[in-house]
Structure 1
């Protein structure tokens, strides 16, 4: 007998001259959800969703170049921009023969996913947003310092060190949650260990600098939402100080029937509300996924 549908398998394929790792679960004939992870995480962040979602859907969760178990070539050998990350993820989907999919986007998954969506509108069946920002009003206070770094990287070297620090990794998870005891410290210690690997600082500094292109692209992403009105589910951890609640509510401007839920969670909502997230995704897709 074969493995049950929720069994997760782990793969590495060569895409665009870099090894790309991905997790897969569910029946291959089922509708596909592509799960795009955030910073400084990897496809591992979605592991709590796999048992529930894989009962009905095929799940593909890749690690970007420079993250998780994917290859991490030096910036001299691979251009670390969000454009390039999105192109590599598109190439992965093409290599896997996936022609239609739901995009589940968290944090960095937003810039990657929206770029994919703009180039492949006919392939996007729905979008699920988990603290993936697309509006200026969603940027928390820390982004003022990062904007200063974008304007003058050499003059603000401390921004990168702070961004990659253990304290920052912890803060991304706990945020302003009144329930810090619910958060597993392995989450941020493991992520910080990945950030301290040889060569990773240069990779992440390049992406942090390139993040300015995402803010510049917000109007284009919003125009795409207005033009295509995809079935949209927004699940937003209200205790996230980086991407704040107005960024969640703003999706309703461009997709009036977007389903928006504010969760008692931080930036990584699965840390605190994995069961609720899974239930809302299943309910949403059951009702809204084009048949």
Structure 2
């Protein structure tokens, strides 16, 4: 049988699963695609893990090298004791930076979602020379992108002891489910295992305190918005925004605001909620592939490329 000239081998799109030790913490990550291609690092949101990109990665992997890690205390990564690991966004970014350095990745594009925004912007400001392009899905960097619920969370930042109910509500089964279902036009495309698994994880011993620490530290992200925006204005990275416009948490104004600092940004508002891949996965993949082909020239197939360093398994 003669293979189709457009056929893609299964090995080129297969996701593989790995662990590395970074600063004494076991970090899990998904990988797909050839390291000879430009790398995209996909940074997940709350309270999910790199699993949220499982359907998207095979659509990109035939043309790009993909790395999708889990933060400490998320997904399959270790959950170090808060006495030994400070749960702040600075520290999450430091751990992710350590993983990428262990892998020998000195040039990459970043795909940001939700908590991946503050993690990724810290990587960008620390290493502006490493960032080839930026892809953003419902990862906020502007005050106008914060939905109404953030007014109540801001009260928690001001007086955490008097507003502990904010954390309870933030981590509840209802909130975990509605992060997926609110704003969707295709509820039948959402797998309920996503939010039931997330809620099970949030219910594990110690998670309440860890997630409360990160929610309290989120105030540093809002305080960091002006610096992040200044970074965008200075470096003008090729930027693609593919945003679920019906997201009640990070509203559409936050997507449109990127054009203020990166006038050439490509912005697409999708008729979807906070997790746009759940109902527009192929559409998003098309936008990403087209954008990356324009923004980051692919390396010649016969050009010698050193294999990235593989961190030791834990």
* TM-score > 0.5, shorter chain as reference: yes
Deviation at 1:201, TM superposition (A): 1.0
Shift, 1:50, TM fit: 1.4
Q: Deviations over 1:86-106 (max 9, x none)?
A: 000000000001110000000
Q: Determine which of 159, 171, 196 is the counterpart of 2:166.
A: 159
**2:234 alignment counterpart:** 227
Partners of 1:24 and 1:177 in 2: how far apart? 29
- Residue 12 of structure 1 corresponds to which residue in structure 2? 19
Deviation at 1:187, TM superposition (A): 1.3
In structure 1, the residue matched to 2:107 is 100
1:47 aligns with 2:81: no
Counterpart secondary structure, 2:100: helix
SS across alignment from 2:231? helix
Give the CA deviation at 1:28: 1.2
C-alpha deviation, 1:183, in angstroms: 1.7
* Partner SS for 1:48: coil
Task: Provide the residue aligned with 1:69 in structure 2.
Answer: 76
How far did 1:290 drift? 4.6
The Cα offsets for residues 222-241 of structure 1, whole Å up to 9 and x where unpaired, read as: 00000000000001101100
Candidates 158, 183, 186, aligned match of 1:176: 183
Q: CA deviation at 1:39?
A: 0.1
The 2-side partners of 1:57 and 1:100 are apart by 13
Query: Please, what TM-score do these two structures have when normalized by structure 2?
Result: 0.91
User: Residues 20-77 of structure 1, C-alpha deviation per residue, up to 9 Å, x if partnerless?
Assistant: 0000010111100000000000000000111111000110000000100000012111
Output the CA distance in 1 between the equivalents of 2:44 and 2:200: 17
Please say if residues 185 and 271 of structure 2, whose CA atoms lie closer than 8 Å, have aligned partners that are also in contact.
Answer: no
SS of the residue corresponding to residue 27 of structure 2 reads strand
User: After the TM superposition, which residues 276-287 of structure 1 pair with which residues of structure 2 at under 5 Å, given as runs?
Assistant: 276-287=283-294
The answer as to whether partners of 1:125 and 1:290 remain within 8 angstroms in 2 is no
Matched, 1:246 2:256: no
Q: Secondary structure at the match of 1:143?
A: helix
Question: How many pairs does the alignment contain?
Answer: 290
- SS in structure 2 of the partner of residue 30 of structure 1: coil
The superposition leaves residues 102-124 of structure 1 with CA deviations (integer Å, 9 ceiling, x where unpaired) of: 00000000000000000110000
Q: Which runs of 4+ in 1 moved over 4 A?
A: none
The equivalent of 2:305 in structure 1 is none
**Where does structure 2 lack aligned partners over 5 or more consecutive residues?**
1-8, 299-314
Larger Rg: 2
Q: CA deviation at 1:3?
A: 6.7
Aligned residue runs from structure 1 range 117-266, under 5 A: 117-266=124-273
- For structure 1, the residue ranges without an aligned partner over 5 or more in a row are none
| CA RMSD after TM alignment | 1.1
In structure 2, C-alpha distance between the alignment counterparts of 1:174 and 1:258, rounded to whole Å: 28
TM-score, normalised with respect to structure 1: 0.98
Structure 1: how far apart are the matches of 2:81 and 2:271?
39
